[in-house]
Amino acid sequence: MVSAAAVTSRVGFGVGFGARKGEEALHSQSLQQSVSLRRDFALQRIVATGSGKRMAGVVRAEALPSSQEVAESVPGAKAVTLEEAGTDSAKPVSSGNGPVSPKKGRNENIREEARRVCAGSGPTSFSAKYVPFAPGQETDEEYSLDEVIYRSKTGALLDVQHDMEALKKAGDGEYWRNLFDSRVGKTTWPYGSGVWSKKEWVLPEIDDDDIVSVFEGNSNLFWAERFGREVVDMTELWVKHCGISHTGSFKDLGMTVLVSQVNRLRRLGKPLLGVGCASTGDTSAALSAYCAAAGIPAIVFLPANKISIAQLVQPIANGALVLSMDTDFDGCMRLIREVTSELPIYLANSLNSLRLEGQKTAAIEILQQFDWEVPDWVIVPGGNLGNIYAFYKGFYMCKELGLVDRMPRLVCAQAANANPLYRAFKDGWENFKPIKALPTFASAIQIGDPVSIDRAIYALTQCDGIVEEATEQEIMDVCAQADATGMFTCPHTGVALVALQKLRERGVIGRNDRTVVVSTAHGLKFTQSKVEYHSSELADITSKFANPPISVADDFSSIMDVLRQKLALR
């Protein structure tokens, strides 16, 4: 755990593990294609306000662009006042489902190709809007996705509601399965992304030109054969590796959607000077990368000394405005909410339901990767609790629209040191109480007052879900065990694996139940605790599965002695 002031690596082991080099090796993955491309002719009016003055003294105002700069940075923009801007910009003409893409022209880039192919297509029949998150309750309250709003009139969370009738009318389950399958493995804009290959179910009305994507998603779902067999006695254990992603965590899935919508809002003239979040390290990394790709300022609030170096260096390298604070994540979250309600900075945490629209595509991808067969269990580590709802929503939409005929059961896994949901579950879902979360190796889920608590409880109760917890000792041991079978787990994935172990021990999950553990981040973001575990340096932790390097003199006979002993040679 490090502070912004100390960006130096402390690796350990005299022989050196090369951890820093490895951390840099995170890479993005891309696949893909298209079937239909389209372009709508969105209004390209941009406005900005004179609010820069109000920002001075709150954050480093000079790091953010002036209204004139915002206007100048967007094609066709002109600077106007907040009053002129109003809140209800005219709606763009929406796009249709478009024809199959012909071959790309020699001098065309993929955006230009998408523009050309879609120029002739009509308006899309799909739409989505914000409604209060109040399942089962009738309400007339609704908002356009082009409004900047995070809560309902009563203060409830919002949800993105799709026009399910229009989606049903477009085709049956087979139609959607075929459409989504046809887009995998290509580089057609924007369907080369695992998120945007499901565009009709994500942000159906956004202009392809506004999309900010690094072709995220399409992460691998692999059979964890040896861990399954040797550690939990299972035949069908799978890991969905959402951490093999552009910034090393599942946050990319939601951030491409949120930053694309911000891109659109700025083009439509909303006076947004930047995008901000509180973070335990992964949200800030994703936000900074997507904002940097789009040329939009990012502002991140981080709890000092509570995130890894690999996480901290990401927003720094991507040019975000990084504010390191002497508080925990919950403190940062309170502050970013205050700041974003005062300044024209868009809130990027999962309180903002746009994020979950991208994250839900991981659930759809799991079904797709199983050739549309439904697994029995899906285990997701939970912190701020947006992701567990996102998974529920992805599975739910697939069932509602006929792609599959049932839902898997969901398990949310929490660190015992940060377990407010687990406590509520044990209490029969009565009396949820926020807690003060304690430090945990699973530092990205050290959250005591999760913003999506209502969404999580709803998701879990709808699918007969379960909540489990993992102690620090259990997390470190299971990560070492998993790594020894060829994985390289982050501690949050460890929390999910512990939940699996416990549910197997109690016989809740059966030996042959097809089970997916969601790995939420890349292990290379969290190397320090592994180094300390394997060198038996962790206070209060017994390193039962330690595999430290052996120091050996650089001569043949010393090396042979060690090999004889370790490999039981005679």
Ligand X SMILES: N[C@@H](CCOP(=O)(O)O)C(=O)O
Ligand Y SMILES: Cc1ncc(COP(=O)(O)O)c(C=O)c1O
Query: Is 136 buried (19+), middle (13-18) or exposed (0-12) by CB count in 10 A?
Result: exposed
Instruction: Identify residue 542 by its one-letter amino acid code.
Output: T
Name the residue nearer to ligand X (CB basis): 194 or 248: 248
- What 3-state class would DSSP assign to 466? strand
In angstroms, rounded to a whole number, what is the distance separating the alpha carbons of residues 563 and 561? 6
Instruction: Identify residue 197 by its one-letter amino acid code.
Output: S
Name the residue nearer to ligand X (CB basis): 384 or 493: 384
Strands in 259-408 per DSSP E: 274-278, 298-303, 321-325, 345-347, 377-381
Name the residue nearer to ligand Y (CB basis): 285 or 480: 285
| 349 binding partner (options ligand X, ligand Y, none; Cβ < 5 to 8 Å by kind) | ligand X
In angstroms, rounded to a whole number, what is the distance separating the alpha carbons of residues 519 and 217? 13
Of 211, 446, 433, give the one whose Cα is nearest residue 329: 446
Name the residue nearer to ligand X (CB basis): 46 or 253: 253
Closest contact distance (angstroms) between CB of 285 and ligand X is: 7
Name the residue nearer to ligand Y (CB basis): 94 or 440: 440
Residue 384 binds ligand X, judged by CB under 6 A:
yes
Which of 152, 350, 361, 519 lies at the binding interface for ligand X (CB under 6 A)? 350
With b meaning 16 or more CB within 10 Å and e meaning fewer, what string describes 34-43? bbbbbbbebe
Residue 279 binds ligand X, judged by CB under 6 A:
yes
Name the residue nearer to ligand X (CB basis): 369 or 414: 414
Residue 445 binds ligand Y, judged by CB under 6 A:
yes
Name the residue nearer to ligand X (CB basis): 189 or 290: 290
Closest contact distance (angstroms) between CB of 440 and ligand Y is: 11
In angstroms, rounded to a whole number, what is the distance separating the alpha carbons of residues 224 and 518? 12
Residue 444 binds ligand X, judged by CB under 6 A:
yes
Of 302, 285, 331, give the one whose Cα is nearest residue 525: 285
Print the binding letters for residues 304-323 with ligand Y: x by CB under 6 A, - otherwise.
--------------------
Which of 197, 350, 501, 528 lies at the binding interface for ligand Y (CB under 6 A)? 350
DSSP category for residue 443: G
Is the distance from CB of 415 to CB of 446 less than 8 angstroms?
yes
Residue 32 binds ligand Y, judged by CB under 6 A:
no
Distances (CA, A) of 313 to 11, 208, 285: 16, 31, 8
Name the residue nearer to ligand Y (CB basis): 250 or 346: 250
Tokens representing 557?
């006979």
In angstroms, rounded to a whole number, what is the distance separating the alpha carbons of residues 55 and 504? 53
Residue 481 binds ligand X, judged by CB under 6 A:
no
Residue 387 binds ligand Y, judged by CB under 6 A:
yes
Element (H, E) at 566: helix 556-566
Q: Which stretch binds ligand Y (CB under 6 A): 34-42, 379-387, 402-410, 459-467?
A: 379-387
Which of 288, 481, 520, 529 lies at the binding interface for ligand Y (CB under 6 A)? 520
Residue 521 binds ligand Y, judged by CB under 6 A:
yes
Name the residue nearer to ligand X (CB basis): 89 or 384: 384
Closest contact distance (angstroms) between CB of 280 and ligand X is: 4
Residue 420 binds ligand X, judged by CB under 6 A:
no
Residue 283 binds ligand X, judged by CB under 6 A:
yes
CB atoms within 10 A of CB 431: 8
Query: Is 464 buried (19+), middle (13-18) or exposed (0-12) by CB count in 10 A?
Result: exposed
Residue 32 binds ligand X, judged by CB under 6 A:
no
Tokens representing 193?
């992304």
Give contact residues for ligand Y (rule: CB under 6 A).
249, 280, 282, 350, 381-387, 444-445, 490, 492, 520-521
Contact residues toward ligand X (CB under 6 A) are 277, 279-284, 349-350, 383-384, 386, 444
